[in-house]
Amino acid sequence: MLDGTCLCGACRFTVDGPVTAASACHCSQCRKTSGHVWASARAPQDAVRIEGPVSWYASSAAAERGFCPRCGASMFWRAHGEDHVSFALGCIDGPTGLRLEKHIFCADKGDYYDIADGVPRFV
């Protein structure tokens, strides 16, 4: 089980189920919402219990992002119509027990850093 909170503690979540796809997203939307790379993992929607005033923003025609309306912490991403939700690994309280499986949207990464960890990359 994983527990997470936003920066101010107003929004909390618990993941009690299978967690997959630990990834670092380099797309321009993730960079803008997080200030750099957004690291997340995903779980079935019914395995993620969210508490507090999470606000959802339709960031594209395909997906929405959940954030804390008080402190602005970027916490969730989910595709419209999917039964999984991605959660920010940086919001997890304590060790995650996970390792990055992949880097995604690498063609959009910022020019100010390199990806040099040997984890598989996808355009």
Does residue 28 contact residue 37 with C-beta atoms inside 8 Å? no
Report how far residue 11's alpha carbon sits from residue 114's, in angstroms, rounded to the nearest whole number. Answer: 33
Q: What is the pLDDT of residue 66?
A: 98
* 3-class DSSP state of 59: coil
The alpha helices in the chain, defined as continuous H runs, are 28-34
Q: What is the fold of 2-108?
A: 2.170.150
Question: Which pair of tokens denotes residue 110?
Answer: 């910022």
Question: Which pair of tokens denotes residue 53?
Answer: 């005033």
Report how far residue 86's alpha carbon sits from residue 42's, in angstroms, rounded to the nearest whole number. Answer: 4
Give kind and range of the element (H or E) at residue 33. Answer: helix 28-34
**Mean per-residue pLDDT of the chain:** 97
pTM for the full model?
A: 0.96
For 9-52, what is each residue's pLDDT tens digit?
999 999 999 999 999 999 999 999 999 999 999 999 999 999 99
Q: What is the pLDDT of residue 87?
A: 98
Give the gyration radius of the chain's Cα atoms. 14
User: What share of the chain in percent tops pLDDT 70?
Assistant: 100
Give kind and range of the element (H or E) at residue 32. Answer: helix 28-34
Q: Which of 120, 115, 87 is nearest to 102 (CA)?
A: 120
